[in-house]
Structure 1
Amino acid sequence: MAKLPLIDTRPVKDKPARGTKARAPADRAAHPRPSKRAVGATERRAAIVAAGLDEFTAKGFAATRLDDVAKRAGVAKGTIYLHFKDKEALFQELVRTALGPLIVRIANPPIGVGGGSARAAMEALAETFAREVIGTKRADIVRMIISEGTRFPQLAEFYYREVVAHGIAGMRKLIEYGIARGEIRNPGLAEFPQLLVGPMIVTVIWQGLFGKQAPLDVAAMLRVHLDLIFEGRAT
């Protein structure tokens, strides 16, 4: 058996240089480096989620098979079950991964920062949506929920809870902020924030069905929609 190295327990007389802080062994123990095994498991999980996103958006929820996900991810099918109990759990995780950070931003709009206008905040939101949703797999996820949500109500319920409810809450905050500033004159809009987000969903559906025949300038369309809400008043 190899001998353990001796630990010098004598007190250190020299003080650390000003501006530096000696790191105690306890600190290193509290923040150990992840093992190669843990890193490998994290990488395999990420590969499974990425493969699931590709399979779900290409084939839809019903037609996606975990065998195909495993093949695309380069893992054994049993490896998937080490991370997700079933296909639905995998889908839920990829929704959180793909849409979670975006929804956090939408649910917490930067209203009142520097006295900015509600319209400016909504224009920024519209630009973010056009850039980060349209033409990406995020839009494919939305289309899949629309097409298969009635067949799989548990997916629709999950999507509403994780995505839609937070998005609607963020829209309502923006609308109420615009009403308080006098930018939006119709207070009824706060009761139906779906009217604000509706054109965004229309663009997702339109681009998926008719994008090749008649592609939309999504950002320009959403600016026209904001003209209607703000009655033509500029930012």
Structure 2
Amino acid sequence: MKVATEMFVDRGYAATTLLDIAKVAGVATRTLYQHFGDKEAIFKEVVYARDVANVMPPEIEDGDDLALVLRKTADYSYEVALRPRSRELMRLMIAESARFPEMMSKITNTIFARFKANVADVFRKLNESGLIPDGDHDKSAEIFVDLLLGNRTTMIYFGWLSDKIPDEDTEAKLELFVRGRFGLDYPSKPAKSASKKAGTRAKSG
């Protein structure tokens, strides 16, 4: 998968062939096809291998308050969307979407559906812990992700903004989300440090 990933990113989807991947990987084309299928199947495997499955969703621990859990979830969201390889693959899918609109749309929607499902699970756990009221947690996840990532993420994908998200921006969005979605006051400080990360930014890899 590493060889295929690098070739798709460097050459683009259209310019990469199954034969090219097999040659660089040092395997027979037939072997590659038997294991993964055609080029489209390999591309999907490359993208899915780099999506939310490789990033652990945030866990709610005893003593966590609402602000802390949301900060963890924000960090998780940024890591899923803004890791270097995620950015490269998303740029590739944007570039290839004109030629392969249906395939790129399906792949992107699958990725974000998995991602939002993980965020929705966080809200269900928050509800079970009594930290947020009953409601449509899938819709809460959708709103949360759209608010946190939104326009800035698109600008980052195009290289027009830095991938370092200012803490004050994240805090402002979390407060807006909590007040607007749940009608709750947003705690000014978490119960404990959210993580060892100084700020919310994507990890390497």
TM-score normalised according to structure 2 size = 0.67
**Residues 77 and 145, structure 2, Cα contact 8 Å, conserved in 1:** no
Is the CA contact 1:118–1:175 (under 8 Å) kept in the aligned structure 2?
no
User: Is the contact made by 1:149 and 1:155 (CA closer than 8 Å) also made in structure 2?
Assistant: yes
1:67 maps to: 19
Residue in structure 2 matched with residue 143 of structure 1 by the alignment = 91
Following TM superposition, by how much is the alpha carbon of 1:89 offset from its aligned partner in structure 2, in angstroms?
A: 1.2
Residues 1:197 and 1:146: Cα distance change in structure 2 (over 3 Å): farther
In structure 1, what is the Cα distance between the partners aligned to 2:33 and 2:137? 46
Task: Provide the rounded CA distance (Å) in 2 between the counterparts of 1:84 and 1:225.
Answer: 41
Structure 1 residues 208, 159: CA separation in 2 closer, same or farther (over 3 Å shift)?
closer
Contact 1:52 1:90 in 2 (8 A): yes
List per-residue Cα deviations over 1:104-146 (Å, max 9, x = no partner). x33xx423x3142233223123224445652411222233344
Instruction: Note if contact 2:119-2:141 (Cα within 8 Å) is conserved in structure 1.
Output: yes
1:52 to 2:4 alignment: yes
Which protein has greater RCO, CA pairs closer than 8 Å, 6+ apart?
A: 2
Q: Hey, what does 2:141 align to over in structure 1?
A: 193
Determine whether 1:116 maps to 2:64.
yes
- What amino acid maps onto 1:224 in structure 2? A
- In structure 2, the partner of 1:156 is 105
Distance 2:4 2:172 in 1: 36
Match of 1:81 in 2: 33
Q: % of aligned pairs identical?
A: 21
Residue aligning to 1:98? 50
Whether the 8 Å contact between 1:53 and 1:94 is mirrored in structure 2 is: yes
Bigger radius of gyration: 1
Aligned residues: 180
Alignment RMSD, CA only?
A: 3.3
TM-score by length of 1: 0.60
Segments of 5+ residues of structure 2 without an aligned counterpart are: 180-185, 191-205
